[in-house]
């Protein structure tokens, strides 16, 4: 989600419900006895119109001076019209058209506003299961995302990025997961990605998007379907796609924090045509995280 997309290797490859504990497969494709317990959640049970819980979330604001490295069109705000509870147990991130000349972007008056929230400085975790139940918006030029950045300072790409769910609006049935990190030779960013084309339009209903992350591997899920596993090159096993020797695997090194946002336009996926109606909403029912039981940490 962080920067302009380059050419990536696209790969096609039992999610669990909201139980408090379950068993996570660990390295080399072998089952482990590591039982996970819920370590963090937000179920967004708050009055309508209220902002996200400030004990759990902080904001990215503005356009980063560059459209967030991707020439995106939106300015992120902390205003209720862009991010607030709906009073029915959901958080709504709304991308809107903007006519206020005081809202400036790198290209002039911002054409759109939206919101990007994150748990940086509030919660981060290394390994476990990260899951959200989300109803995404639909339309070309929209890019809703549930993702993570590594390290307390998020030095990109050195500390890494895990995209749990992205959907390019002109591909309404396709969910994508991605790893971003540094190249092994230190020359820039490296990425490996995969996708799943579903037999339905993702924006028509809520779906559960998740990763299971353990030493040497990350697996992606939508609802009850695991569609991708990427492994550190040295740990390749049946059903596991190698990250690749050109990339430095940094996903065992530190904790990552969670982000949610809706981006508009940019080099990827391109500007929305005038036929796309606004506002466009991403509705989040919950975000939950599980980690290894305390006795095993």
Active-site residues: which are they? 161, 166
Extract long-range pairs of 48-53: CB within 8 Å, 24+ residues apart: 48/84, 48/85, 48/86, 48/87, 48/88, 49/80, 49/84, 49/85, 49/87, 50/80, 50/84, 50/85, 51/78, 51/80, 51/83, 51/84, 51/85, 52/83, 52/84, 52/85, 52/91, 52/117
Task: Report the DSSP pairing between strands 112-114 and 74-76.
Answer: parallel
Is 296 strand, coil or helix?
Answer: helix
Name the token pair of 40. 């963090």
The answer to whether 283 and 90 have CB atoms below 8 angstroms apart is yes
Q: What is the DSSP letter of 2?
A: -
Report the alpha-carbon distance of residue 74 to residue 178 in Å, rounded. 23
Report the alpha-carbon distance of residue 114 to residue 199 in Å, rounded. 29
Token pair 């959200």 in the structure block, residue: 132
Is 131 strand, coil or helix?
Answer: strand
Residue 193, beta-bridge partner list: 10, 178
Report the alpha-carbon distance of residue 91 to residue 280 in Å, rounded. 13
């Amino acid at each position: 989600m962080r920067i302009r997309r380059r050419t990536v290797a696209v790969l096609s490859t039992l999610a669990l419900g909201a139980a408090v504990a379950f068993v996570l497969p660990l390295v080399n494709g072998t089952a482990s006895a590591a039982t996970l317990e819920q370590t963090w959640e937000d179920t967004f049970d708050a009055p309508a119109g209220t902002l996200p819980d400030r004990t759990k979330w902080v904001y990215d604001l503005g356009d980063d001076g560059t459209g967030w490295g991707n020439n995106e069109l939106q300015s992120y705000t902390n205003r209720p019209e862009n991010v607030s509870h709906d009073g029915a147990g959901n958080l709504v991130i709304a991308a809107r058209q903007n006519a206020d000349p005081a809202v400036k972007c790198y290209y002039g008056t911002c054409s759109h506003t939206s919101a990007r929230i994150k748990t940086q400085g509030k919660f981060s975790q290394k390994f476990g299961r990260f899951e959200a139940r989300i109803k995404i918006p639909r339309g070309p030029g929209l890019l809703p995302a549930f993702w993570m950045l590594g390290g307390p300072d998020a030095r990109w790409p050195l500390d890494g990025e895990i995209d749990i769910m992205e959907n390019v609006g002109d591909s309404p049935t396709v969910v994508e997961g991605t790893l971003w990190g540094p190249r092994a030779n230190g020359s820039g960013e490296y990425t490996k990605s995969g996708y799943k084309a579903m037999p339905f339009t993702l924006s028509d209903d809520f779906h559960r998007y998740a990763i299971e992350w353990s030493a040497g591997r990350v697996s992606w899920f939508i609802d009850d379907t695991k569609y991708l596993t990427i492994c550190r090159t040295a740990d390749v096993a049946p059903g596991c796609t190698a990250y690749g020797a050109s990339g430095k695997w940094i996903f065992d090194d530190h904790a990552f924090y969670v982000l949610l946002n809706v981006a508009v336009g940019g080099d990827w996926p391109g500007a929305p045509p005038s036929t796309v109606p606004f506002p466009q909403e991403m509705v989040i029912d919950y975000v939950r995280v599980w980690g290894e039981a305390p006795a095993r940490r």
